A and B are shown apart, each in its own frame.
Chain A
């Protein structure tokens, strides 16, 4: 059997300092968040501030014939009503493509696109004024899927594209396409004893973070602006905002405010430019807070996808080949669609060894809501499909689905379809073994001495069954996710570390622009500083643009990248401390002249443990400070024709076993256990690791059984922009999630860490689907599964 590794942890050399890495230190913001005292970006207030309000399109695709703002401007309390004509400089922004208008001009391309802005002295006045703006539209034909996007006479969502992918795409309504060719799938198919084909549909998921888009823009005396926002990446925002305001970057000073969740949905700009242009125009601070409905239009979603797969295997269970086509709908604006395409394509094989592949992933422009980054980023959709295929093949072969996967599992040294070797542990078979070997929850677990506990049954408190029609199902899945930014992107983080003596104690200050979106970076950063600098007191400086970029809080990269930058800067600070020590005390002890010094427990000590001096005595009133950029190993772009290239930095692996009870008559599902095994490289904070895995697992469960933004195919309008009809799992929908993490270090990563937040989101969804299929015998090729699909109504 392939991959018989036992999952024994890799030893990582580590100094011990209290509150350092490896301990489950508690979040500094935890109590405030639980007690409701934490200040989120929507809680900010400024004297004399105005409230900003957007007006958004009521149609998905139309020419703007006219906009009449006169009635809105007449209202008392209204300070400004702006349209695209009033924008001070660049009219478009965008992360990868500058294709997104601040306010629509010429035409609107999706339902809910911003068309006008109002600033007023009260939010209700702003809302009423926006309602008085009259816009005349002339509707245009809709592009809603691959067929309508690539039809010979298809209307172009964007004319005159000038982005870097434009010269290479087969049709202007295709944002990017990425083929991968390796081996010869056509020939290999002839050797297959069994071939399975499948067509899969993945629904549009929303990040559904609880803190809506919000922030405060304050005009400054120097003509610049101070902007307080909740975002995933300050410097990426800054690069997009400054040209739209016609200001140099140094005059746009950004400070992170309290972020109420992100999951990818804050990687793009939302209200940042809107509030800033209103503030510059009125000369007053402007606050904006989207309400829940607007939030559904205020950020990009997960790409819905159609996936067409063919796999073959020999009768002894070895995969022969895979062919697939993955169509991701990027909606009206590109956002990160091109990168999502690269991910979907390069990870479409999953964590398996398949030498002969023929892969194509494409991302569409359409008039559907724009889609971009969300936890799992292109790998989620592919995993849903290839894991369904694995089950189908195993069934054809008459093999156990876990054994079949283990037989074909990748391991260290496996060559990816892109030609890139896997250069660190890949314990795929072991993760599967671990989830499979867990004991199962007892049969008829809802029964107690007092009768049926409806909370443990499908339907829950809605009291739909007391056991009637209920069938148990068990399903497995495993996935592979890249960590960090891929395809040649210059991905770096910056950390500024200072150390000085305050009130007789050595204190370290960690200053980065890292976005704390709930992932726990602020906890980890202090742990790293304690470990590296041997101090107890670590202050986390607020994140802002007065320090270099920390990159995005996404792609599972922050602990690896900004953690790596902090570690690196701490090492440089440590060297400076030793230098000062040598200057002051070098003559007292020969060990000062050696390289064998450490900082531990507030002291300079030798490797043998001998104390040379306290940090306080070394530093006295000197301040040591280092700001440095830190990079992971470089990657390269995938070849546009063959898809070959060392495109990825690192991989993360997780496996799930789902146990479900399905009411087969009503089509209702209760997931009762969703066990996860994951290789985390090194758990810097075990409690946070488990939290991330449980959170990712639950988000994957959500899209398996309930979460979907429903877009009317006839109008391209969103039908459920509210938490009334966009359902998220409640605690009663969330099963027990036993987590079994193993630590097999990536030798290239700081401390051996792996990004952990995304991988569990991949395999959770297909595991739940597999369990429902197991219970019902149905094919179920679409997620989320709805009662209609199970009952055939």
Chain B
């Protein structure tokens, strides 16, 4: 195994163009686990740690440009207001040590359905900026990013440059079920963001389908129900029947498997429960005085 250590972004793109099988590594919290388990033995590792700009973030007018190597700890500490859903998800990633090393780029590069940041990226409607030496950069909407189990939309010569995430315009929430109260891989997860500016709701489901997915039917139902009932204006309590139907449709968006971590039936059930609770928490915040962005945590 060769270890490539580019000193700049340009060098990294060149290295990736020359060695398309090279696996990028930053925090190593996904890649090293795979190597330790002998699940993969890449010909080349492409170390991105010398490229400082990948470790930076920029808060713009409407979006946060998040470097793929920015560790989860920094997201929790610095971006709670702008990216509350992602900050909540970051809290649930592994242990403090891992959160000091791992970043969203690893989740996206690995594209495991169990990656903790996916539901927040889906529910906030992020774009992934990728670049190649040959064709320059392009933006991949998160909805088109996940292609299959551990497959993403990157070409072989592309690297992830930044993740552009809209700043929260309303409350966001995230829940994850694991069989331990900390430091656990998701059995399944759910994220929800209210977007009062567009009067829409977006969702993200983790670990309950071959890829992270949105619960589109549930979103459409809820968008229509909120609109028809005038909920956005009145801020009144969401009726139990709406919440229940939303939960049922969220369960229906799952296409889970049975594995050592849980059964398919449980995952469907739990996604429904989390969907209902996430909706209630965010809506409580929306209608509450403070209109805090994070929900009633």
Contacts and interface: CB of A to CB of B under 8 A. Distances in A.
Contacts of B184: 462, 727
A504 interface: no
Contact of B174 (A291, A463, A731): A463
B38 to A, nearest CB: 9
Contact of A459 (B33, B175, B269): B175
Interface stretch (A191-199, A322-330, A716-724): A716-724
Give the one of A462, A787, A788 with max B CB within 10 A: A462
B181 interface: yes
Interface in B221-247: none
B179 A727 contact: yes
A463 B181 contact: no
A722 B36 CA distance: 11
Contact of A666 (B177, B263, B268): B177
Interface string A454-474: 110011111111101100000
Interface stretch (B12-20, B121-129, B161-169, B270-278): B270-278
A640 interface: no
A291 B296 CA distance: 43
B9 interface: no
A349 to B, nearest CB: 33
A666 B296 CA distance: 19
A727 B176 contact: no
Contacts of B187: 787
Contacts of A463: 88, 91-92, 173-176, 297
Interface in A419-467: 451-452, 454-455, 458-466
B270 A666 contact: yes
Nearest to B269: A793
A443 B270 CA distance: 25
Contacts of A464: 175-177, 274, 277
A101 interface: no
A529 B187 CA distance: 53
Give the one of B181, B182, B263 with max A CB within 10 A: B181
A733 B180 CA distance: 7
Interface string A705-731: 110001000000001101011010111
B262 interface: yes
A458 B176 CA distance: 11
Contacts of A731: 182
Nearest to B176: A462
Contact of B261 (A454, A469, A725, A732): A725
Given A666-B270, A666-B273, A727 B180 contact: yes
B265 interface: yes
A14 interface: no
Interface string B179-205: 111111101000000000000000000
A6 interface: no
A633 interface: no
Do most interface residues of chain B lie in helix, strand or loop, or is the interface mixed? Answer: mixed
Contact of A787 (B177, B181, B281): B177
A724 B280 CA distance: 32
Interface string B240-269: 000000000000000000001111011011
Contacts of A730: 180-183
A5 interface: no
Interface string B80-94: 000000001001100
A213 to B, nearest CB: 17
Contacts of A720: 260
Interface string A100-125: 00000000000000000000000000
Given A462-B176, A665-B273, A670 B181 contact: yes
Nearest to A784: B179
A786 B179 contact: yes
Given A293-B37, A463-B88, A733-B181, A787 B270 contact: yes
A304 interface: no
Nearest to A733: B181
A574 to B, nearest CB: 51
Contacts of A732: 181-182
B6 interface: no
Contacts of A787: 177, 179, 187, 262, 266, 270
Interface residues of A, number: 41
Interface in B35-59: 36-37
Nearest to A292: B36
B178 interface: yes
Contacts of B173: 463
A234 to B, nearest CB: 32
Do most interface residues of chain A lie in helix, strand or loop, or is the interface mixed? Answer: loop
Contacts of B92: 461-463
A184 interface: no
B274 to A, nearest CB: 7
Give the one of A293, A705, A725 with max B CB within 10 A: A725
B33 A451 contact: no
B262 A466 contact: no
B297 A466 contact: yes
Contacts of B33: 724
B274 A466 contact: no
A264 interface: no
A786 B269 CA distance: 14
B294 to A, nearest CB: 10
A461 B181 contact: yes
Nearest to B265: A793
A451 B297 contact: yes
Interface in B122-176: 173-176
Given A466-B296, A719-B260, A725-B260, A667 B180 contact: no
Contacts of A791: 266, 269-270
Given A706-B180, A725-B260, A462 B175 contact: yes
B180 A729 contact: yes
A667 B185 contact: no
Contacts of B277: 464-466, 468
Interface string B279-297: 0110000000000000011
Contacts of A670: 181
A280 B181 CA distance: 48
B174 to A, nearest CB: 6
Nearest to A710: B260
B118 to A, nearest CB: 15
Contacts of B91: 461, 463
A668 interface: yes
Interface string A284-306: 00000001010000000000000
A465 B274 CA distance: 8
A706 B178 CA distance: 10
Nearest to B190: A464
Contacts of B265: 788, 793
Contact of B262 (A460, A719, A788): A788
A451 B88 CA distance: 16
A791 B187 CA distance: 14
Given A461-B182, A787-B266, A787-B270, A668 B177 contact: yes
Contacts of A725: 185, 260-261
A703 to B, nearest CB: 13
Contacts of B174: 463
Give the one of B91, B182, B297 with max A CB within 10 A: B182
A466 B281 contact: yes
Nearest to A787: B266
A53 to B, nearest CB: 13
5 contacts: A454-B297, A459-B177, A668-B179, A732-B181, A793-B268
Given A666-B270, A788-B266, 14 more contacts: A293-B37, A452-B297, A459-B175, A460-B181, A461-B91, A462-B182, A463-B88, A464-B177, A668-B177, A724-B185, A733-B181, A733-B182, A787-B270, A791-B266
Q: List 10 A-B pairs, minimum CB-CB distance, nearest first.
A: A460-B181, A732-B182, A793-B266, A462-B176, A793-B265, A732-B181, A793-B269, A788-B266, A730-B182, A464-B175
